[in-house]
Structure 1
Amino acid sequence: MIELIVVGTSAGGLNALEVLLKGLPKSFSAAMAIVQHRDRHLGSQLCQVLGRYCLLPLTEPEDKELILPGRVYLAPADYHLLVEAGRGGSYFTFSHDAPVWYSRPAIDVLFKSAAYAYRQKLVGIILTGANHDGAQGIVTIKQYNGLTIAQEPTTAYSPIMPEAAIATGAVDWILPLEAIAPFLLKIWRSPSNCNLSKDI
């Protein structure tokens, strides 16, 4: 059973996230955490914009906030977003450590921490982007038996990020942008499909 989906993107990410989020119904019960590289001065504007396209509640989490099913969380500007496992459930924590791949929040930070907490109940997705952030996070997710997806680079505004993830050999599925949400619905409705892998 999928419990958490982590998504990483940078250049071209707004349009990609719009397509992804529009494809998720109100009944979708997995939680989703998103890292979008952005300027630290943008504040909560991105959250407001993405909320227009999402049928699920979409917010920027607070430090130590419990991760609830059926919600979408956007990493706040200028903080790394991490996942911690606790007795009462997993929760988010913030870090102001140095940028990773010139970015804070960084995709690798979220992906690696989520892999430790959720293991095989995690899905990691790399969308369009202009650097290699997220590639090592994808490797960690795979090491902990999670499912990994990369956007088909030819459908990405910037193919560098999905290409870097694919080059690790740790991506299970390479999908066109428009096919990612339907695929998530498929494996959500049929938990046994979570273990499907695909040669790349």
Structure 2
Amino acid sequence: MGRAWGCVPRVRRPVRPGREVGRRCVVPIRVLVVDDSVVIRRLLVQALESETDVEVVGTASDGARALLKAEQLRPDAITMDIEMPEMDGVTAVRELRRRGVRVPIVMFSTLTARGASSTLDALAAGASDYVTKPSNVGSLAEALSRVAGELVPKLRALVGRGTRPTALAPAGARPALGAAPARATVPAPAPAPALGGLRGVSVRRTPAVLPPAPTHPVRAVVVGSSTGGPEALSRVVGGLRRPLPVPMIVTQHMPPLFTAQLALRLDRLGPSTVVEASDGDVLRPGHVYVAPGDFHLELAGTATAARIVLTQSPPVNFCRPSVDVMVRSALSVLGPHLLGVVLTGMGQDGAAAAAELVEAGGTMISQDEATSVVWGMPGAVAAAGSTHRILPLDVVADAIMSRCADSGAFTVGGAS
């Protein structure tokens, strides 16, 4: 189950309802760690328990034991290996969801084609997100740093738990195991510069929606997503009842190999032709181009002969590929003739470029909070007042088809 990192002393701490950090009360995220490798379990325990707001309440060596531990311990979140004896991680996720367990489940995957395929299976079964196991690291300290750096922010976002100045919760007070966790939302932003007459507002109260978009014909659809994105993209691409008269370009935050597997799966879901983008691809109507992991997807050429350029310039918003890079590049080639869509995801990648898109005269759609796994990216767009519509996931595909319906005369790639 991956490279051994050496023996890591197991850390045991009593379960506590809260931890005092300075003057703040930190309510720890209670995590169940599931992996058949003793070394990996200990690595995860040490990495997680190094954080003041995370507490490992139990471990399990396979999916069957995980089902029992989840019922007994009622964790806030679960980390789940994929390949395990007795019951694998994908089966365990499916069974947990069947039993009504709604806590976030983060898969712990290998960075291989097989690992990518299994991870997408787990996401389809109901897993919330994934992280990749550290490989080619020179020390235990580096392995711990990588695991904590990738896993902990995702747990915080998925659980929606943070530090807050409240009294400690009563001992033993736990939410029901099947209860949905609090969704992560972006905090109320500081007042933003005016955009289309509207100022940034708190997405917790009154999301800012722009007046109806200008009626520029759409030449391309640009879509950004992150946490929860693979399943959201499946719903959107699968919901397109006919090929779009314009191309769709997708940036999903994923590593290499994973994006290729994602494109293969999306290609099987509907009438659109879905491919992992290659350098030099000419955009064609009815095609969906997925940015490959570790490459920014940019556009070059002209509005009627736009082509894809893949670059490895520095990450933007800590991301490569980046939604901001993709959208800004598309704006430079296609101008206001763009429909932008921001789906579920952590962070704020895409928010800055969304503001530029609507300022240029393009149309912007954001997924709503209720159907997002994490309302970070779409919430940031809404908070800035940079969206024309905030929609549930199930109607996003129809909204895209409707907006593109009158764009037949504005094709790209030389199609008529």
User: In structure 1, what is the equivalent of residue 251 of structure 2?
Assistant: 35
Q: CA offsets, 1:138-184, max 9 Å, x none? A: 01111221100100122101111111111121111111111111112
Amino acid at match of 1:59: V
Paired residues in the alignment total: 191
Among 46, 67, 72, the alignment partner of 2:262 is: 46
- Are 1:11 and 1:157, in contact at CA under 8 Å, matched by a contact in 2? yes
Measured after TM superposition, the shift of residue 96 of structure 1 is: 0.3
Q: Which blocks of at least 5 consecutive residues in structure 2 are unaligned?
A: 1-216, 408-416
Among 311, 314, 328, the alignment partner of 1:112 is: 328
Q: Does 1:126 align with 2:338?
A: no
Root-mean-square deviation (Å): 1.6
- Are 2:238 and 2:266, in contact at CA under 8 Å, matched by a contact in 1? no
- Are 2:341 and 2:366, in contact at CA under 8 Å, matched by a contact in 1? yes
**What is the percent sequence identity of the aligned residues?**
30
Q: Does 1:100 align with 2:340?
A: no
Q: CA offsets, 1:42-90, max 9 Å, x none? A: 3621211222213211112221221111111000111000012338611
Q: CA offsets, 1:77-121, max 9 Å, x none? A: 110000123386111111101111221101100011111211221
Between the aligned partners of 2:369 and 2:272, the Cα distance in structure 1 is 27
- Are 1:116 and 1:144, in contact at CA under 8 Å, matched by a contact in 2? no
Amino acid at match of 1:115: L
The change in CA–CA distance for 1:176 and 1:120 in structure 2 (over 3 A counts) is same
User: In structure 1, what is the equivalent of residue 238 of structure 2?
Assistant: 22
Between the aligned partners of 1:88 and 1:172, the Cα distance in structure 2 is 26
Q: Report which of the two has the higher share of helix.
A: 1
Q: Does 1:186 align with 2:374?
A: no
- The correspondence of residues 128-167 of structure 1 with structure 2, limited to 5 A, is 128-167=344-383
Amino acid at match of 1:102: F
User: In structure 1, what is the equivalent of residue 290 of structure 2?
Assistant: 74
Between the aligned partners of 2:244 and 2:364, the Cα distance in structure 1 is 19
User: In structure 2, what is the equivalent of residue 7 of structure 1?
Assistant: 223
User: In structure 2, what is the equivalent of residue 59 of structure 1?
Assistant: 275
Amino acid at match of 1:48: L
Amino acid at match of 2:307: Y
User: In structure 2, what is the equivalent of residue 176 of structure 1?
Assistant: 392
The change in CA–CA distance for 1:162 and 1:64 in structure 2 (over 3 A counts) is same
TM-score (norm 2): 0.44
Amino acid at match of 1:103: C
* Larger CA deviation: 37-46 vs 178-187: 37-46
Measured after TM superposition, the shift of residue 133 of structure 1 is: 0.3
SS at match of 1:115: helix
SS at match of 1:120: coil
The change in CA–CA distance for 1:91 and 1:165 in structure 2 (over 3 A counts) is same
Amino acid at match of 1:147: T
The change in CA–CA distance for 1:99 and 1:170 in structure 2 (over 3 A counts) is same
Amino acid at match of 1:143: E
TM-score (norm 1): 0.90
Between the aligned partners of 2:301 and 2:358, the Cα distance in structure 1 is 18
Between the aligned partners of 2:403 and 2:302, the Cα distance in structure 1 is 26
Between the aligned partners of 1:14 and 1:87, the Cα distance in structure 2 is 29
Q: Which has the higher contact order (CA 8 A, sep 6+)?
A: 1
Q: Which blocks of at least 5 consecutive residues in structure 1 are unaligned?
A: 192-200
Amino acid at match of 1:120: P
Between the aligned partners of 1:133 and 1:81, the Cα distance in structure 2 is 14
Amino acid at match of 1:110: M
